[in-house]
Amino acid sequence: MINDFLKKRFLRYLNIKKTLREMDELNERLLKEKEIRQEFFANASHELKTPITSIRGYAELLESDMIKDEDTKRDMISRIKKEADHMNMLIADILEVSKLESNDIRPEVMRVDVNLLIEDTMETFKPRADEAQVTLYNYSKPGTFVYADYGHMDEIISNLVSNAIRYNRKNGKVWIYASNEGGRMELRVRDTGIGIPKSECSRIFERFYRVDKGRSRVTGGTGLGLSIVKHILSYYKGTIEVNSKTGSGSEFIVRIPEHYER
């Protein structure tokens, strides 16, 4: 009798202890998430301040009437426009990150023809590639598919192709391969660009992390592209890896299960 009573008390004690431990863990996780969110918003406002400061500076100079030369004035106006475009891109990426973070993802899953999507992406990026003197090649297998949200797949491919152009060299090349392999859709984007130092390869997926901040900014980068790609991929239980050699180029490999499962 006493034995039973003690056993029950002991089990109750163990249950309370487990609940307390779980509450501690939850609390710790919430604090960590809060810290990460705060850090993200601090970084985001810092990033937004840079174009705002530039725009203000140019506007004040134009207003002061100190600039008489018409060409210089036009140059300043085009810089203002460029900074405003950069702010637009930053805001769009910041909103995308917040949306992904809040798990407010309602994918419209459909059969995405990856080869067609790559052709469309190449068409979109052709003017930018021409300007950078970079040639794009698509060696994907016709009929390559994945069941996913079209917009998500577009985001992944566009980010990788855009980076492959942005961090390339004059007369550089970008090769894109997609195929279905062992129940997964595999996408490879390879470039002949500047490459990434080995020690930085894992860090480039962090928000706002850039190997060369100056190059990223002048070419219109926000520092959020790869973190968005990684976040989308985790939703589809997909993976991304990078192989790179400084000075000779990079290859990004994405793998996503062909069929979406939640």
Nearest approach in angstroms of CB 213 to ligand ADP is 7
Residues 6 or more apart from 182 whose CB is under 8 A from it? none
When the beta carbons of 119 and 200 are compared against ligand ADP, the nearer one is 200
Judged by the rule CB under 6 A, the positions of this chain that interact with ligand ADP are 159, 163-164, 167, 191, 193-196, 204, 210-212, 216, 221-227, 250
When the beta carbons of 185 and 224 are compared against ligand ADP, the nearer one is 224
Q: Among residues 237, 262, 130, which one has the least CA distance to residue 185? A: 237
Nearest approach in angstroms of CB 108 to ligand ADP is 25
When the beta carbons of 148 and 204 are compared against ligand ADP, the nearer one is 204
When the beta carbons of 29 and 46 are compared against ligand ADP, the nearer one is 46
Nearest approach in angstroms of CB 172 to ligand ADP is 10
CA 244 to chain CA mean position, Å = 18
Nearest approach in angstroms of CB 230 to ligand ADP is 9
When the beta carbons of 145 and 207 are compared against ligand ADP, the nearer one is 207
CA distances from 60 to 54, 69, 123, 131, 146 (A): 10, 16, 39, 31, 51
Amino acid, res. 99:
K
Supply the DSSP symbol for 182: T
Q: Decide: 44 and 94 in contact? Cβ < 8 Å.
A: yes
Nearest approach in angstroms of CB 225 to ligand ADP is 3
Amino acid, res. 87:
M
